[in-house]
């Protein structure tokens, strides 16, 4: 059973990654191209200011992969592989949950596990540290941003597990409905406290070219006199990129959850029938 469950999880994750790639290729790719064009134009403006001020010019280095290679090879390969990995992780969590649930059906369990993983692995971290288009965000803070994002994932998973444990403990005294509400509130409160404590990304950078705001999104570039020589990054592009990034992840998890909910009863029913046959033969 374990191999069958994990194999189907991998296939569904890969399928979800492929569909999410098609969506992102159509909807998000134009915004990524505009973000790259923005970065190039801003770098040119910054170099002109530095040259006028007598500052040394930075060597950007050669381009390792062309934009065409990134769009047509790297992105689909990465999203399909990423989806397959998440599908395998989902299958493992689902298999472990099978042994610990009470009256939850196999189909509903698949939806619950997919929803919980989407919530903890993406939604909660996204609310604190939303996605930015490539080339947007100060390069000196990549390690700090990655560390904070991973910390947010670990904490959200821990809080969800703690909320599930709390709900099961309270169910005997308060009933399932009241215990579920109490556990949900505790999860929201814990996540909210952590979001207030953890630093915002804008506080990680001391680069004034990005502005003095609580964000890493580039603000208007100004010369020594304070005149704007290059505009800030368009707010509409930032909003739509984050919206499409969220939608792509939602597509991936819907394919995994709904697909497995459709396959699980048949898969588990077949295994149960095999077990009955084996028991009768023995």
DSSP 124-147: HHHHHS----TT-S-GGGHHHHHH
Q: Please check whether residue 75 lies inside any domain of the structure.
A: yes
Contacting residues for 279 by C-beta, under 8 A, at least 6 apart: none
Counting the structural domains of the chain, the total is 2
Q: 111 and 65 in one domain?
A: yes
Residue closest to 138 by CA, chosen among 193, 83, 87, 203: 203
**Is 18 a residue whose pLDDT tops 50?**
yes
CB-based contact 97:113 (threshold 8 Å): yes
Q: Render pLDDT for 180-223 as a digit per residue (tens, 0 to 9).
A: 999 999 999 999 999 999 988 765 554 444 444 345 678 888 88
Q: 247 and 127 in one domain?
A: yes
- Mean pLDDT estimate for the chain: 84
Q: 163 and 141 in one domain?
A: yes
Contacting residues for 49 by C-beta, under 8 A, at least 6 apart: 221, 223, 229
Q: Please check whether residue 225 lies inside any domain of the structure.
A: no
Q: What is the pLDDT of residue 157?
A: 97
Q: 61 and 25 in one domain?
A: yes
Residue closest to 29 by CA, chosen among 67, 80, 83: 67
Residues of the chain with pLDDT > 90: what percent?
A: 51
Q: What is the pLDDT of residue 212?
A: 41
Q: 141 and 131 in one domain?
A: no
Q: Please check whether residue 106 lies inside any domain of the structure.
A: yes
Question: What are the two backbone dihedrals, phi and then psi, of residue 204, each rounded to the nearest 5 degrees?
Answer: -85, -20
Q: Please check whether residue 84 lies inside any domain of the structure.
A: yes
Q: 200 and 88 in one domain?
A: no
Q: What is the pLDDT of residue 24?
A: 94
Q: Please check whether residue 221 lies inside any domain of the structure.
A: no
Q: b vs e for 132-153, b when ≥16 Cβ sit within 10 Å of the residue's Cβ?
A: bbebbbbeebeeebeebbeebb
Q: Please check whether residue 201 lies inside any domain of the structure.
A: yes
Give residue 273's pLDDT band: very low, low, confident or very high (50, 70, 90): very low
Residue 258 region by backbone torsions, left for phi larger than 0, else alpha for psi between -120 and 50, else beta: alpha
Q: What is the pLDDT of residue 205?
A: 52
Q: 111 and 84 in one domain?
A: yes
Q: What is the pLDDT of residue 83?
A: 97
Q: 108 and 10 in one domain?
A: yes
Environment class of 233 (CB within 10 Å of its CB; exposed 0-12, middle 13-18, buried 19+): buried
Q: 252 and 203 in one domain?
A: no
Q: 145 and 59 in one domain?
A: no
Q: Please check whether residue 68 lies inside any domain of the structure.
A: yes
Q: 276 and 205 in one domain?
A: no
Average pLDDT over residues 22-36: 92
Q: Render pLDDT for 101-136 as a digit per residue (tens, 0 to 9).
A: 767 888 999 999 999 999 999 999 999 999 888 767
d(CA 3, CA 10): 10
What is the number of other CB atoms lying within 10 angstroms of the CB of residue 268? 17
Using DSSP, state whether 275 is helix, strand or coil.
Answer: helix
Environment class of 27 (CB within 10 Å of its CB; exposed 0-12, middle 13-18, buried 19+): middle
Q: Domain span at residue 204?
A: 137-216
Q: Please check whether residue 69 lies inside any domain of the structure.
A: yes
Q: 127 and 22 in one domain?
A: yes
């Amino acid at each position: 059973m374990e191999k069958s469950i994990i194999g189907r999880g991998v296939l569904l994750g890969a399928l979800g990654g492929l569909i999410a790639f098609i969506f992102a290729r159509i909807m998000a790719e134009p915004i990524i191209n505009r973000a790259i064009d923005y970065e190039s134009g801003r770098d040119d403006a910054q170099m002109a200011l530095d040259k006028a001020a007598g500052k040394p010019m930075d060597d950007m280095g050669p381009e390792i992969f062309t934009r065409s290679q990134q769009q047509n090879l790297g992105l689909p390969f990465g999203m399909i592989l990423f989806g397959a990995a998440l599908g395998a992780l989902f299958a493992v969590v689902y298999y472990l949950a099978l042994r610990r649930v009470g009256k939850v059906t196999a189909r509903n369990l698949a939806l619950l596990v997919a929803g919980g993983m989407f919530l903890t692995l993406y939604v909660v971290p996204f609310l604190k540290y939303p996605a930015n288009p490539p080339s947007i965000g100060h390069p000196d803070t990549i390690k700090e941003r990655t560390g904070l994002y991973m910390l947010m994932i670990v904490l959200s998973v821990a809080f969800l597990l703690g909320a599930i444990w709390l709900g099961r403990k309270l169910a005997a005294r308060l009933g399932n409905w009241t215990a579920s509400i109490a556990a949900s509130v505790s999860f929201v409160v814990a996540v909210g406290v952590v979001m207030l404590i953890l630093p915002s990304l804008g506080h990680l950078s001391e680069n004034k070219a990005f502005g003095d705001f609580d964000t890493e999104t580039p603000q208007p570039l100004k010369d020594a006199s304070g005149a704007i020589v290059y505009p800030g990054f368009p707010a509409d592009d930032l909003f739509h990129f984050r919206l499409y990034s969220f939608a792509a992840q939602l597509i991936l998890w819907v394919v995994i959850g709904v697909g497995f909910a459709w396959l699980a009863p048949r898969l588990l029913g077949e295994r149960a029938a095999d077990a009955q046959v084996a028991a009768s033969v023995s």
